Amino acid sequence: MKRTLLFALAAVMCACGGADNKSKEDATTSDSTEVRTVECVASGDVVYIDLDYIMASSKLYANEGKELETKVKAFEEKSISTQEGWAKKEQSLAAEYNKLQADAAKLEQDYAKGLITTLNAQQKQEELQKKGNSIQSRMTALQNTVQTEGQKLQEEERALGEEQMVLMNKFQDLTRRALDVINEDHRYKMILNAVSVVDSDPTLNISDIILKKVDELYEADNSAE
Q: Which domain holds residue 45?
A: 24-224
Confidence of residue 225 (pLDDT cuts 50, 70, 90): low
Q: State yes or no: pLDDT of 30 exceeds 80.
A: no
Angle at 192 (CA atoms; ends 189, 195), nearest 5 degrees? 165
| 158 φ/ψ angles, rounded to the nearest 5 degrees | -65, -40
Model confidence pLDDT, tens digit, residues 91-105: 999 999 999 999 999
Number of CB atoms found within 10 A of residue 19's CB: 13
Does residue 1 sit within a domain? no
Is residue 17 a part of any domain in this protein?
A: no
Q: Is residue 8 part of a domain?
A: no
pLDDT (tens digit per residue) in 32-83: 334 444 445 545 589 999 999 999 999 999 999 999 999 999 999 999 999 9
Contacts 24+ apart (CB under 8 A), 74-80: 75/3, 75/156, 75/157, 75/160, 76/3, 78/153, 79/153, 79/157
Q: Which band of pLDDT confidence, cut at 50, 70 and 90, is reported for residue 151?
A: very high
What is the structure's pLDDT at 10?
A: 37
Q: Is 135 among the domain residues? A: yes
148 against 13, higher pLDDT = 148
Asked, for residue 65, whether it belongs to a domain, the answer is yes
In a 10 Å sphere around its CB, with 0-12 CB exposed, 13-18 middle and 19+ buried, how is residue 114 labelled? exposed
| 116 in any annotated domain | yes
Please return the burial class of 98, using the count of CB atoms within 10 Å of its CB with bins 0-12, 13-18 and 19+.
exposed
Q: Would you give the DSSP letter of residue 205?
A: B
| pLDDT of 152 over the 50 cut | yes
Say how many C-beta atoms besides its own lie within 10 A of residue 41's C-beta: 21
Give the chain's domain count.
1
Is 82 domain-assigned? yes
By the 10 Å C-beta count (0-12 exposed, 13-18 middle, 19+ buried), 132 is classed as middle
Task: Examine residue 102 and state whether it is found in any structural domain, yes or no.
Answer: yes
Of the pLDDT bands very low, low, confident and very high (cuts 50, 70, 90), residue 109 is very high
Averaged over 148-153, what is the pLDDT? 97
